[in-house]
């Protein structure tokens, strides 16, 4: 296809040599092709500019303004930037944010790698169940998890703390989840699956003879794992580290929920605080946004470098090779227990706590003896703002993935199949949001659409979400397209099918499984997204995650818990429909 | 009227010239093979004919209609040709019936006609009863047949084959060769067949176009190519050959010449082409096919009789493959199994002067 594009761009020559009779047949072809080659990239470029480039531009512009862009009293100033980049409170916050993000990335990667090795390389029993258990938190909301851990381990009324003190008769062993350590712990819990996915894919694709050669040279299991297996997948481990680092630095929900009482400084939280706490300062919020933007950009560069190296190590081995599995023998039970503890901490305990808080009259005074009641449920489910936010959530949850996947497929098709001019640029811009945290993006979206009618509607949420998840949709569309042998499309052309018929009857049909799974994933992301939504919220476009945040903000943990459960039910319905009705394989990383 | 006419076709990929100005024609009903090593431009040529690849220059006509000229082209779906791909390209999400019916449905043929023509095509390739199977449930050979049925059902003006048998195992490949040829003769469709397997091209083709480095080396009937190669490459690529370097020492009547090779052996043979201009220094190649060396009894008459020593014998079942030393010259020959030679035997061999082909030494 390189040929074709190169040729089509070349001006046709030597007209005089073509007999008149043949002209009529050939003449009509070139202009239409040129139209497609011009209109496709230009319109896709415009959409991407609106979605991706404009918000980033406006965020930087906003950081330079003394007041909102529309405010006639506003002027350009460097005060905000100087404040954020050079003064002590912000540098301290930067230090905290980097330390927590680095810690989370290191711990989640270490645990994720261990779990990946156990499940991919040893004879741990019930592998599929184990893998499902490790991946399950991917389909849940970390924000809801944070609320649950607040119920479990807040210093005074945390259910776990109360149980322990009742049992031991002392408060000496109290856990304080509202602390830097607590934030580190809960974030690690919910980011382990990302490390697991990245590294296990790599572990499964290395040549088993690397390890076999090590055994034959007399090395034992541990030595082989540490000296051969891990070094071979080191690039994948590094890319998992930087991926989680970027995810963490931009995470709003967990540090906001857990750090509120304890005043743990965190950049992503302060972006939001600057827009809600007095004195409200949108310029400062944008300025902090630019700081997080640069950190993320650096993280993503490292990530890209590492994952490029990771692909180099991947070897395609002949089929029929069976991986020799490490026999755990006596260590089988501890290995299963390790996975069990993870599931207990990430899923079982949090949801027990949510259910407990939702179904009792839970106050700090009666943590363990709270009377059971359905009143919370009834209160929440009958509140008008809840029914409205359910329908908003579902609307956003359906429109976002649909448009996002459609745009991603168009981009992938134009870039990979039609090889439109400027394809590399389109590719770069489409992947750009991957490194921009939702809350940073929302800052830009906020500045961009402040004065437009779309501001304050669910439309602005959809715009923000589409931009944020476009890299995911585009990447999946691209991978799916890459796996479809061109020959299948060529066979269709030779049967007389037009371009459109080939695309719809062959290409899209074959991409369908991948696109459905991407749809379900973007649905999940959209339903649970907090950080991009919270900056753009208004009374008209409130979604469940934001409502849950609001309840928590008013101190009503029970209502927040009910909303969290409700959100989880919606997510589970999405996963179940995807998995069992549409038979989608949901094992792609975000 | 030629069914296919390719004139001065050039395909460039950046700085690389994949096809370097080739011209050929195929007559209606003819089975033409494009034969050559990988990278010789044969597949690129075929894909240009199909419209899947763009020509940089040159002209392609199908049934006297220009489909490509000076970088302008008719898209593949409007050329009225069809192709059997190396990887079959059977659509995995469609049944066998849907695969074969695809083109007819694309052209909005009425339902009863689709049913009849698909059934005919499937019967033709021996897949009746497989209509509701899916591509993934078929063996390689069966997928191959689906691909053939899908290509012939549209009654294309040209049938194109891109190494269709190279992914089949040896036994099936042999059988499919004959089936494809029988089918092509029955349908009478002009066919262009790309292969790197010379024995496949020999068995199937009316005419072989031998390519190398983006150019046509030689074209002609299989017999022509085998018996009268025009260059070292042609002699080596088609069949196996002993190629000996030598010089012309004498010219005789009826085009026969005497060539001295090795340490003084003088062979009588004749050039592949009568119009062959002799190289100025008289240097030539002599091509002797392994099966054209005969063991003779003592004291025979005639030319090209030499004493030889059997240096190596391999038993191949149908023949004995031997290395014969004629002084310092070694010939690899196939001898009848019953000759019962063993290593070290001293024998007399004779090579018919008509079987000694003189080829210009182009290397």
Cβ atoms of residues A93 and A273 within 8 Å: no
For the segment A268-297, what is each residue's pLDDT rounded down to a tens digit? 888 888 888 777 788 888 888 899 999 988
The per-residue pLDDT for range B252-262, each reduced to its tens digit, is: 887 888 888 87
Q: What is the mean pLDDT of chain A?
A: 83
pLDDT band at A314 (very low <50, low <70, confident <90, very high): low
Kindly report the nearest CA distance between residue A363 and chain B, in angstroms: 58
Q: What is the pLDDT of residue B363?
A: 53
The Cα–Cα gap between B210 and B223 comes to 13
Would you give the end-to-end CA distance of chain B in angstroms?
A: 38
B77 contacts A496? CB cut-off 8 A:
yes
Report the mean per-residue pLDDT for chain B.
89
pLDDT at A144 over 60: yes
Reference A259, options A141, A137, A149; nearest CA is: A149
Report the residue of B89, B92, B117 to disrupt the A interface, i.e. the one with the largest count of A CBs within 10 Å.
Answer: B89
Q: Which pLDDT does position A319 carry in this prediction?
A: 41
Looking at chain A, the whole-number percentage of residues with pLDDT higher than 70 is 88
A496/B103 touch (CB, cutoff 8 Å), yes or no: yes
- In this structure, what DSSP letter does residue A368 have? T
Query: In terms of Cα–Cα distance, which of B101, B100, B99, B106 is closest to B76?
Result: B106
Beta-bridge partners for B213: none
Contacts of A172 (CB under 8 A, 6+ apart): none
A4, A19, A485 member nearest B87 (Cβ): A485
Pick from B14, B43, B102 the residue to mutate for testing the A interface (most A CBs within 10 Å): B102
B58: left (phi over 0), alpha (psi -120 to 50) or beta: left
Q: What is the pLDDT of residue A207?
A: 73
Residue A306 exposed, middle or buried by CB count within 10 Å (0-12, 13-18, 19+): buried
Locate all alpha helices (DSSP H) within chain B, ordered by sequence. 42-50, 96-106, 111-124, 140-152, 170-187, 198-204, 222-227, 232-237
Q: Taking the CB of residue B230, how many other CB atoms lie within 10 A of it?
A: 22
CB atoms near residue A499 (< 10 Å): 16
- Write down the ipTM of this complex: 0.80
- Of A2, A18, A487, which is closest to B69 when you measure between CB atoms? A18
Pairing type for strands B207-212 and B215-220 reads antiparallel
pLDDT above 60 for B43: yes
Contact A192/A345 with Cβ under 8 angstroms?
no
The structure tokens listed for A583 are 């038979």
> Which H or E element spans position A194?
helix A180-205
Sequence-separated (6 or more) residues with CB below 8 Å from residue A96:
A180, A264, A265, A266
Interchain pair B70, A17: CB under 8 A? yes
What is the three-class DSSP state of B250? strand
Distance CA A207, CA B53 (A): 37
Distance, in Å, from the CA atom of B98 to the CA atom of B352, rounded to the nearest integer, reads 58
Q: Indicate left, alpha or beta for B286 from its phi (over 0: left) and psi (-120 to 50: alpha).
A: beta
Grouping H, G, I as helix, E, B as strand and the rest as coil, residue B166 is coil
Q: How far is CA B148 from CA A88, A169, A476, B42, B296, in A?
A: 75, 83, 33, 20, 49
Distances A56 to A69, A77, A444, B348 between C-alpha atoms, Å: 15, 18, 5, 90
CA distances (Å), B75 to each of A209, A494, B27, B148, in order?
Answer: 48, 9, 23, 21
Q: Is A589 helix (H, G, I), strand (E, B) or coil?
A: coil
Alpha carbons A423 and A45: distance in angstroms, whole number: 10
**By the CB < 8 Å criterion, does A492 face chain B?**
yes
- pLDDT of B201 over the 90 cut: yes
Of the candidate ranges A513-527, A561-575, B78-92, B251-265, the one whose mean pLDDT is the lowest: B251-265
Token pair recorded at residue A407: 């745009």
Distance (Å, whole) CA B25 – CA A475: 46
- Helices and strands, counts by H and E, chain B: 8, 21
pLDDT category of residue A33 using cuts at 50, 70 and 90: low
CA A477, CA B204: separation in Å to the nearest integer?
A: 43
Chain B contact set for A3 (CB, 8 A) = 11-13, 53-54, 56
Distance CA A57, CA A47 (A): 15
What are A67-97's pLDDT values in tens digits? 766 666 777 888 888 888 888 888 999 999 9
- B58-96 burial, b at 16+ Cβ within 10 Å, e below that, comes to bbbbbbeebbbbbbbbbebbebbbbbbbbbbbbbbbbbb
Q: Are strands B2-13 and B16-27 parallel, antiparallel or unpaired?
A: antiparallel
Predicted confidence at residue B214, as pLDDT, reads: 93
Specify whether the CB–CB gap between B361 and B311 falls below 8 A. Answer: no
Q: Please give the angle made by the CA atoms of B83, B215 and B85, to the nearest 5 degrees.
A: 15
CB B290 within 8 A of CB B349: no
DSSP SS3 for A371:
coil
- CA A109-A111-A116 angle, to 5 degrees, is 90
Residue pair B285/B360 in contact (Cβ under 8 Å)? The answer is yes
pLDDT at A110: 95
The reply to whether residue A7 touches residue B56, judged by beta carbons under 8 angstroms, is yes
Q: Which residue of A34, A495, A499 to mutate against B (max B Cβ within 10 Å)?
A: A495
CB atoms within 10 A of CB A315: 12
What are B72's strand-pairing partners? B69
Question: Is this prediction's pTM over 0.95?
Answer: no
Closest to A410 (Cα-Cα) out of A50, A51, A49, A44: A44
Beta bridge partners of B245: B285
- Of A481, A476, A462, A586, which is closest to residue A533 (Cα–Cα)? A462
Both tokens of residue A141? 């909301």
Using alpha carbons only, give the angle A153, A159, A164 rounded to the nearest 5 degrees. 90
B193 φ, ψ (degrees, to nearest 5)? -125, 120
Quick check: A17 and B107 CB within 8 A?
A: no
Angle at B342 between CA B339 and CA B347, to 5 degrees: 65
Q: Do A30 and B72 lie within an 8 Å CB cutoff? A: yes
Q: What are phi and psi of A331, to 5 degrees?
A: -85, 0
In contact, B152 and B183? CB cutoff 8 Å: yes
Torsion angle, CA of A258/A259/A260/A266, rounded to 10 degrees? -130
pLDDT at B287: 92
Q: In whole angstroms, give the CA distance from residue B354 to residue B358.
A: 10
Q: What is the largest CA-CA distance in chain B?
A: 77
Rounded to whole angstroms, how far apart are CA atoms A27 and B307? Answer: 70
Q: How far is CA A396 from CA A147, A400, A544, in A?
A: 23, 6, 11
Residues of A in contact with B91 (CB under 8 A): 488, 491-492, 506, 510
Average pLDDT on B134-162 reads: 91
Residue with the two structure tokens 């005789």: B252
Q: How confident is the model at residue A36 (pLDDT cuts 50, 70, 90)?
A: low
Confidence (pLDDT) at A3: 35
> Two tokens at A128?
């599929």
Q: What is the pLDDT of residue A576?
A: 87
Task: Please give the share of chain A, as a percent, with pLDDT higher than 90.
Answer: 30
- Which of the pair, B94 or A366, is modelled with greater confidence? B94
pLDDT digits (tens, 9 = 90+) for A203-243: 887 777 777 777 778 787 888 888 888 888 888 899 899 99
- What pLDDT was estimated at residue A21? 42
Any A CB within 8 A of B103 CB: yes
State how far the Cα of B76 lies from the Cα of B103, in Å rounded to an integer.
Answer: 13
Looking only at the bridges linking them, the beta strands covering B57-62 and B65-69 are: antiparallel
Is residue B9 scored above 60 in pLDDT?
yes
Span A134-152, average pLDDT: 90
- Interface with chain B: mutation pick from A2, A3, A483, highest number of B CBs within 10 Å: A3
């Amino acid at each position: 296809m390189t040929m074709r594009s190169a040729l089509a761009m070349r001006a046709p020559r030597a007209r005089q040599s073509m007999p008149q009779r043949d002209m009529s047949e050939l003449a009509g072809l070139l202009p239409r092709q040129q139209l497609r080659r011009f209109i496709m990239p230009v319109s896709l470029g415009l959409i991407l500019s609106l979605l991706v480039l404009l918000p980033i531009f406006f965020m930087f512009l906003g950081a330079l303004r003394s007041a909102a862009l529309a405010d006639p009293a506003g002027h350009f100033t460097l005060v905000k930037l100087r404040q954020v980049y050079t003064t002590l409170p912000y540098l301290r916050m930067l230090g905290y944010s980097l330390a927590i993000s680095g810690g989370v990335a290191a711990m989640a990667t270490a645990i994720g790698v261990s779990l990946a090795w156990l499940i991919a390389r040893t004879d741990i029993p019930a592998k599929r169940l184990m893998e499902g258990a490790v991946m399950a938190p991917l389909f849940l909301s970390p924000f809801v998890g944070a609320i649950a851990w607040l119920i479990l381990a807040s210093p005074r009324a945390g259910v776990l703390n109360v149980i322990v003190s009742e049992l031991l008769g002392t408060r000496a062993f109290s856990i304080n989840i509202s602390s830097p350590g607590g934030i580190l712990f809960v974030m690690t819990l919910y980011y382990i699956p990302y490390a697991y996915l990245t590294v296990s894919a790599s572990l499964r694709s290395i040549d088993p003879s690397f390890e076999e050669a090590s055994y034959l040279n007399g090395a034992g299991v541990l030595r082989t794992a540490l000296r051969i297996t891990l070094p071979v997948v080191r690039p994948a481990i590094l890319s998992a580290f930087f991926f989680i680092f970027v995810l963490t630095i931009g995470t709003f929900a967990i540090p906001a929920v857990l750090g509120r009482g304890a005043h743990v400084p965190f950049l992503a939280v302060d972006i939001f605080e600057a827009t809600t706490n007095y004195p409200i300062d949108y310029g400062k919020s944008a300025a902090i946004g630019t700081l997080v933007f640069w950190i993320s950009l650096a993280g993503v560069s490292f990530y890209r470098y590492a994952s490029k190296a990771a692909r180099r190590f991947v070897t395609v081995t002949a089929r029929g090779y069976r991986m020799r599995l490490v026999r755990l023998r006596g260590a089988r039970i501890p290995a299963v227990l390790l996975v069990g503890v993870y599931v207990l901490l990430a899923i079982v305990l949090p949801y027990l706590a949510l259910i407990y808080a939702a179904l009792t009259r839970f106050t700090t005074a009666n943590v363990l003896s709270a009377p059971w009641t359905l009143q919370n449920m009834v209160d929440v489910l009958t509140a008008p703002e809840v029914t409205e936010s359910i329908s908003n959530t579902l609307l956003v949850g359906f429109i976002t993935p649909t448009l996002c996947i459609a745009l991603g497929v168009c981009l992938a098709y134009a870039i990979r199949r039609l090889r439109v001019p400027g394809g590399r640029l389109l590719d770069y811009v489409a992947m750009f949001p991957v490194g921009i945290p939702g809350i940073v993006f929302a800052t830009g979206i906020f500045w961009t659409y402040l004065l437009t009618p779309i501001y304050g509607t669910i439309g602005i949420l959809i715009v923000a979400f589409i931009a944020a998840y476009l890299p995911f949709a585009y990447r999946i569309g691209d991978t799916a397209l890459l796996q479809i042998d061109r020959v299948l499309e060529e066979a269709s052309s030779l049967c007389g099918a037009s371009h459109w018929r080939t695309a719809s009857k062959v290409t899209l049909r074959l991409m369908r499984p991948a696109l459905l799974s991407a749809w379900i994933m973007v649905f999940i992301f959209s339903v649970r997204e907090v950080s991009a939504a919270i900056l753009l919220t208004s009374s008209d476009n409130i979604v469940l995650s934001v409502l849950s945040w609001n309840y928590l903000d008013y101190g009503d943990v029970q209502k927040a818990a009910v909303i969290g459960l409700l959100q989880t039910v919606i997510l589970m319905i999405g996963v179940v429909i995807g998995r069992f009705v549409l038979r989608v394989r949901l094992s792609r990383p975000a | 009227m030629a069914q296919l006419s390719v004139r001065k076709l050039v395909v460039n990929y950046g700085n690389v010239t994949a096809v370097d100005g080739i011209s050929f024609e195929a007559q209606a009903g003819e089975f033409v093979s494009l034969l050559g090593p990988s990278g010789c431009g044969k597949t690129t040529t075929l894909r240009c004919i199909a419209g899947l690849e763009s020509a940089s220059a040159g002209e392609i006509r199908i049934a006297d209609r220009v489909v490509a000229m000076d970088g302008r082209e008719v898209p593949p779906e409007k050329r009225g040709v069809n192709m059997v791909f190396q990887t079959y390209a059977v659509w995995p999400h469609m049944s066998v019936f849907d695969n074969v019916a695809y083109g007819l449905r694309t052209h909005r043929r009425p339902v009863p006609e689709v049913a009849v023509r698909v059934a005919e095509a499937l019967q033709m390739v021996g897949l009746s009863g497989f209509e509701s199977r899916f591509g993934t449930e078929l063996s390689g050979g069966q997928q191959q047949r689906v691909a053939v049925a899908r290509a012939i059902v549209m009654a294309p003006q040209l049938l194109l084959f891109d190494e269709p048998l190279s992914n089949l195992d040896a036994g099936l490949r042999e059988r499919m060769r004959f089936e494809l040829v029988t089918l092509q003769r029955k349908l009478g469709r002009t066919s262009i067949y790309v292969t790197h397997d010379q024995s496949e091209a020999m068995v199937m083709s009316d005419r072989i176009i031998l390519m190398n480095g983006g150019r046509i080396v030689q074209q002609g009937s299989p017999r022509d190519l085998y018996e009268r190669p025009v260059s070292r490459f042609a002699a080596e690529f088609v069949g196996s050959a002993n190629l000996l370097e030598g010089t012309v020492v004498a010219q005789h009547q009826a085009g026969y010449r005497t060539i001295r090779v090795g340490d003084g052996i003088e062979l009588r043979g004749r050039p592949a082409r009568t119009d062959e201009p002799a190289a100025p220094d008289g240097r030539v190649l002599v091509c002797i096919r392994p099966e054209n060396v005969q063991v003779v009894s003592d004291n025979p008459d005639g030319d090209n009789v030499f004493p030889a020593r059997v240096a190596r014998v391999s038993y191949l079942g149908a023949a004995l493959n031997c290395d014969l030393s004629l002084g310092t010259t070694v010939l690899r020959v196939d001898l009848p199994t019953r000759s019962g030679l063993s290593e070290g035997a001293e024998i007399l061999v004779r090579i018919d002067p008509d079987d000694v082909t003189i080829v210009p030494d182009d290397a």
